[in-house]
A and B are shown apart, each in its own frame.
Chain A
Amino acid sequence: MRPTKPILLLAAAVSLGAGVALAASGDPERARILDGYAAQAKAQTPGFAGFSAERGRALYLGPHTGGKVADTPGCASCHTRDPAGTGRHYKTGRDILPMAVSANPKRFTDPAEVEKRFERDCVNVLGRACTAQEKGDFITFLSNQ
């Protein structure tokens, strides 16, 4: 984590300006998704100052309480604590491809898939929908992993 911090801060700063998320995410489709969340976050969250990989990391690891599924206190419960590793569905044992963009460049490039999974996984882990800022934080964290 340490050595990448300045880059993360830079990325967060860059993604503030809509349209420039591409520099941070490296894929035009992922950049569009991030820009969309940034626009929503600006409207929803007073004082929104860009996405934070650190906050994304905390969201990813948990532990959280109040989720619909008590056995999954974090996103890491299925996606594993090492986002570059292969995940495992906590109950069925099904493999899940790595979440880190470095290990799986297709991550966060299909907006419908991304929204569908946020909608679902956030309720199971947090007991509520994720905010646009949380979604952007999550993708920013994993884009730098």
Chain B
Amino acid sequence: MSPTRSLRPLTGIAALAMLAVTAGAAFASEFERVRPVTHAATQKECGECHMAYQPGLLPAASWTRIMDGLQDHFGENASLPADTAAAIRSYLTQNAGSGDGRLIRITEQRWWLRKHDFAPSIWTRKSVAAKSNCEACHRTAAQGLYEDD
């Protein structure tokens, strides 16, 4: 269930079949879907500083690295009590997607870069603030629905 990566190479028929499976949204063809976060601690703890990214957005190896390095989380101390961290780690790794496990940034994964190939000035808009702010453009990102715009 990794987002775009797996969709791109599919044939039209397979894509249609996928859409049928994930049907429900009126304009399914304009969305990419990822399973939403269903783990309360993950939602709460990750969601304090940024959108709680869905586990399917990174492979297990990346999540493991992230959870190993919370004391220096992209330059910030984001440490958690050990029991909370352990619960979040297992939720993320057990529901992980695919991708390059050497990269811990979602925004450096190949599928992500391919989907966001536009003018860099977009990222410095005040309403966007950072690449990590999915919801600035994908309004329903927190539900795992990424508008294809």
Interfacial residues, chain A to chain B (CB-CB below 8 A): 68-69, 89, 91-94, 96, 112, 116, 119-120, 123-124
- The docked-state distance in angstroms from the alpha carbon of A56 to that of B58 is 40
Most buried by B among A69, A89, A119, A123: A89
Distance from A124 Cβ to chain B, minimum over Cβ atoms (Å): 5
Chain A CB within 8 A of B49 CB: yes
- The docked-state distance in angstroms from the alpha carbon of A69 to that of B74 is 10
A96 partner residues in chain B, CB cutoff 8 A: 48
- CB <8 Å contact, B81 and A112: yes
Distance from B107 Cβ to chain A, minimum over Cβ atoms (Å): 12
> Please, which residue of chain B has its CB at the minimum distance from the CB of A119?
B79
Chain A CB within 8 A of B117 CB: no
Tell which of A69, A93, A116, A120 touches B130, judged by Cβ atoms closer than 8 Å.
A93
- The docked-state distance in angstroms from the alpha carbon of A145 to that of B76 is 28
Interface string of B115-147 (1 = CB under 8 A from A): 000000000000111101100100000000000
- CB <8 Å contact, A124 and B81: no
- The docked-state distance in angstroms from the alpha carbon of A68 to that of B129 is 21
> Please, which residue of chain B has its CB at the minimum distance from the CB of A68?
B77
- The docked-state distance in angstroms from the alpha carbon of A69 to that of B73 is 11
B76 partner residues in chain A, CB cutoff 8 A: 68-69, 91, 120, 124
> Please, which residue of chain B has its CB at the minimum distance from the CB of A121?
B77
Chain A CB within 8 A of B78 CB: yes
- CB <8 Å contact, B129 and A92: yes
> Please, which residue of chain B has its CB at the minimum distance from the CB of A70?
B75
- The docked-state distance in angstroms from the alpha carbon of A133 to that of B127 is 37
> Please, which residue of chain A has its CB at the minimum distance from the CB of B78?
A120
- The docked-state distance in angstroms from the alpha carbon of A94 to that of B80 is 19
- The docked-state distance in angstroms from the alpha carbon of A89 to that of B76 is 12
B50 partner residues in chain A, CB cutoff 8 A: 89, 92, 94
Distance from A109 Cβ to chain B, minimum over Cβ atoms (Å): 15
Chain A CB within 8 A of B51 CB: yes
What are 6 A-B pairs with beta-carbon distances under 8 A?
A69-B76, A91-B129, A91-B132, A94-B48, A120-B79, A124-B76
